[in-house]
Chains A and B, each alone.
Chain A
Amino acid sequence: SQQGEEDPQALSIQEGENATMNCSYKTSINNLQWYRQNSGRGLVHLILIRSNEREKHSGRLRVTLDTSKKSSSLLITASRAADTASYFCATESNDYKLSFGAGTTVTVRA
């Protein structure tokens, strides 16, 4: 089935450092989206990258997509304590539903 898988499962960094997490998927996609979830809360959309795009930026976020390797990465630069959350990649294919990975839990230490 079409699913994203994130790596690493958990990441602990110091405030000010960069956080990088990766996502791999299995079949062709229309787009890949990254979401953030604070503990027990809703999913906040961060950024969408289309299958014909290779890199995208939004504020302190940088997303790359390599369709030949079926992988994406999310970089958060200059992390803050408020970035502490779980981050999920979700792929959309031709059926227009999202398939989520298991997520990366990021802890930013002050």
Chain B
Amino acid sequence: EPEVTQTPSHQVTQMGQEVILRCVPISNHLYFYWYRQILGQKVEFLVSFYNNEISEKSEIFDDQFSVERPDGSNFTLKIRSTKLEDSAMYFCATKGLAGEETQYFGPGTRLLVL
């Protein structure tokens, strides 16, 4: 069964460093999302992406965050200058054609900012 993959599975970085989290969506999926889950808290929506542009973003998704689909397959989340509070599990999710409602989640990247 096709699945969403994410790399790396874990990343440790120093505060102020840039990180790039990568996601490979399910082939032919058109809608892409990033969510995050701070330890012990709810899963929170960050951003949705369709047709090579951001559809919607949350208040969390400030100027330090950006997304892109650089090569038509990978979907990346960049955090320009990480803060301690960015430590969380980051999930990529993808959805198929219009009318397909299920969002399929990747296994997540656990980010720890020191």
A interface residue numbers (CB < 8 A to B): 3, 30-31, 33, 35, 40-45, 48, 50, 88, 90, 92, 95-103
Does A50 lie within 8 Å of B91, measured CB to CB?
Answer: no
Binds A, one of B13-21, B70-78, B80-88, B98-106: B98-106
Q: Is the interface of A mostly helix, strand, loop or mixed?
A: strand
Please, which residue of chain A has its CB at the minimum distance from the CB of B39?
A: A40
Q: What number of A-B contacts does a CB cutoff of 8 Å give? A: 59
Does B102 lie within 8 Å of A33, measured CB to CB?
Answer: yes
Distance A42 CA – B109 CA, assembled complex (angstroms) = 9
Does B48 lie within 8 Å of A42, measured CB to CB?
Answer: no
Please, which residue of chain A has its CB at the minimum distance from the CB of B4?
A: A42
Shortest distance between the CB of B43 and any CB in chain A (Å): 4
Please, which residue of chain B has its CB at the minimum distance from the CB of A6?
A: B42
- Given A41-B108, A96-B31, A96-B55, A30:B101 Cβ within 8 A: yes
Distance A74 CA – B104 CA, assembled complex (angstroms) = 19
Chosen A-B contacts, 23 in total, with CB atoms closer than 8 Å, are A31-B101, A41-B107, A42-B106, A42-B108, A43-B91, A45-B102, A45-B104, A45-B105, A48-B101, A48-B102, A90-B43, A96-B31, A96-B48, A97-B33, A97-B45, A97-B58, A98-B35, A98-B43, A98-B93, A98-B103, A99-B45, A100-B42, A101-B42
